[in-house]
Amino acid sequence: MERHPSRVVAFSDAVIAIAVTLLVLEIRPPQDTRHLFHSLVTLWPSYLAYGVTFMLIGQAWANHHAMFDQIRSVDRTVLFLNTVLLMDIAFLPFAASVLAHALRDGEGQRVAVVLHGITFELAAILFNAVWAYARRHPRLLVTTLDSAGARAIGRRFRIALTWIATGTLLGALLPALGVAVIAAFIPFYWLPIRGETARARPRPGEDGGPA
């Protein structure tokens, strides 16, 4: 049974909104107000983990909309894959908290960066899985998306797989470099997806011609 994706998008928006809100709870006010400026500065690992994770989740939200703008109906497989994707996104505040604590304590940084990277890598895998499934079942896609636009969206999602995986692997060797590579992904991924709004080409049978 297929359904309109509006409820899927609304539920996804709610989960993502809660996830980004929970991120700020990691940044706790300093106890030492006598040296408040210094105490605030020492919280830089929390600021870093908050900023990077918030922007990456924001990217996930923006590209989730870009993807579901092109999906006109969903079936149980899409619902399942999207649910697992949301479960992964909801885990990100914990991964960000672990990263902030490791950077602040100076211990376990490699493990923390890898955990943070793997969590985003799983999100990238699930994005690719949803889109690949939808492309294999054209009935799920809107008629205004042509093959060039579908390929452009898929290409963007595949780049995420390689980029995040590279940052994660580098983080296992040099934590600071791994965080830098993953953070560098932010400005690139906010660029619009070329071809996603390409003019539609009628599918067989939709223009009155032979199916």
Q: What is the DSSP letter of 67?
A: H
Domain count, the chain: 1
Give the tens place of pLDDT for each residue, 125-155.
Answer: 999 999 999 999 989 999 888 888 888 888 8
Q: Is residue 204 part of a domain?
A: no
Q: Is residue 178 part of a domain?
A: yes
Give the tens place of pLDDT for each residue, 22-49.
Answer: 999 888 888 888 889 998 999 999 999 9
Q: Is residue 209 part of a domain?
A: no
Q: Is residue 58 part of a domain?
A: yes
- Provide the mean pLDDT of the chain: 88
Residue 64: closest CA among 50, 49, 84, 85:
85
Q: Is residue 194 part of a domain?
A: no
Q: Is residue 203 part of a domain?
A: no
Residue 158 scores a pLDDT above 60: yes
**Band of pLDDT at residue 202, cut at 50, 70 and 90:** very low
**Band of pLDDT at residue 190, cut at 50, 70 and 90:** confident
C-alpha 88/C-alpha 122 separation (Å) is 7
Q: Is residue 201 part of a domain?
A: no
66-71 average pLDDT score: 91
Cα of 33 vs its chain's centroid, Å: 37
Domain that holds residue 113: 6-29+39-189
Residue 161 scores a pLDDT above 90: yes
**Band of pLDDT at residue 195, cut at 50, 70 and 90:** low
C-alpha 153/C-alpha 130 separation (Å) is 12
Residue 192 scores a pLDDT above 90: no
Residue 55: closest CA among 23, 85, 101:
23
Give the tens place of pLDDT for each residue, 89-121.
Answer: 999 999 999 999 999 998 999 999 999 999 999
Q: Is residue 136 part of a domain?
A: yes
In a 3-state reduction of DSSP, which class is residue 3?
strand
